[in-house]
Structure 1
Amino acid sequence: MNIISNLLNSILGYFFNITGDFGIAIILLTLAVRVVLIPLSFRQKFGMQEQQKLAKGLEEIKEKYKDNKVKLESETQKYYQENSKSILGCLTSFLQLPIFFALYNVILKMPMSTATMLVPWVASLKMADNFFIIPTAYVISVLIPNLLPYVPFLSITTQAKISKTNILVSSIMSAIITFKAPIALGLYLITTSLFSAIEEIIFRIYVRRRELVA
Structure 2
Amino acid sequence: MNIIFNFLSILLNSIFNFTGDWGLAIVLLTVSVRLVLSPMSFKQKKSMQQQQKFAIKMQELKEKYKNNKDKLDVELKKQSVQSAKSMMGCLVTLLQLPILMTMWSVFNKIPVSVGTYLIPWVSSIKLSDSYYVIPLIYMIVSLAPSLLSYVTLLKIEGQATISKSNIIIMAVVGVLVAKAAPIALGIYLITTSVFSFLEELVFRIYMRNVKTEKQ
How high is the TM-score relative to the length of structure 1? 0.97
Aligned partner of 2:155 in structure 1 is: 155
Q: How much does 1:213 deviate?
A: 1.3
Q: How much does 1:76 deviate?
A: 1.1
Aligned partner of 2:203 in structure 1 is: 203
Q: How much does 1:70 deviate?
A: 3.2
Aligned partner of 1:90 in structure 2 is: 90
Aligned equivalents of 1:156 and 1:71: distance in 2? 30
Aligned partner of 2:46 in structure 1 is: 46
Q: How much does 1:194 deviate?
A: 0.3
* Range with bigger deviation, 151-160 or 48-57: 151-160
Aligned partner of 1:142 in structure 2 is: 142
Aligned equivalents of 1:108 and 1:82: distance in 2? 42
Letter in 2 for 1:66: K
Q: How much does 1:47 deviate?
A: 0.5
Aligned partner of 1:185 in structure 2 is: 185
**Alignment deviations for residues 125-153 of structure 1 (CA, whole Å, 9 cap, x no partner):** 01010000000000001111011011122
Q: How much does 1:84 deviate?
A: 2.5
Aligned equivalents of 2:53 and 2:142: distance in 1? 26
How high is the TM-score relative to the length of structure 2? 0.96
After TM superposition, list the pairs within 5 Å mapping 1:7-22 onto structure 2. 7-22=7-22
Aligned equivalents of 1:143 and 1:186: distance in 2? 15
CA RMSD of aligned residues (A): 1.0
Q: Are 2:56 and 2:158, in contact at CA under 8 Å, matched by a contact in 1? A: no
Q: State whether structure 2 residue 115 is matched by structure 1 residue 108.
A: no
Identity over the aligned pairs, expressed in percent?
50
Aligned equivalents of 1:87 and 1:118: distance in 2? 40
SS in 1 for 2:122: coil
Aligned partner of 1:174 in structure 2 is: 174
Q: Are 2:137 and 2:190, in contact at CA under 8 Å, matched by a contact in 1? A: yes
SS in 1 for 2:91: helix
Gaps of 5+ in 1: none
Number of aligned residues:
214
**Alignment deviations for residues 6-65 of structure 1 (CA, whole Å, 9 cap, x no partner):** 000011001100111000000111001000001001000000110011101110111112
Runs of 4+ in structure 1 displaced over 6 angstroms? none
* Range with bigger deviation, 80-89 or 9-18: 80-89
Letter in 2 for 1:19: T
Q: Are 2:42 and 2:203, in contact at CA under 8 Å, matched by a contact in 1? A: yes
Gaps of 5+ in 2: none
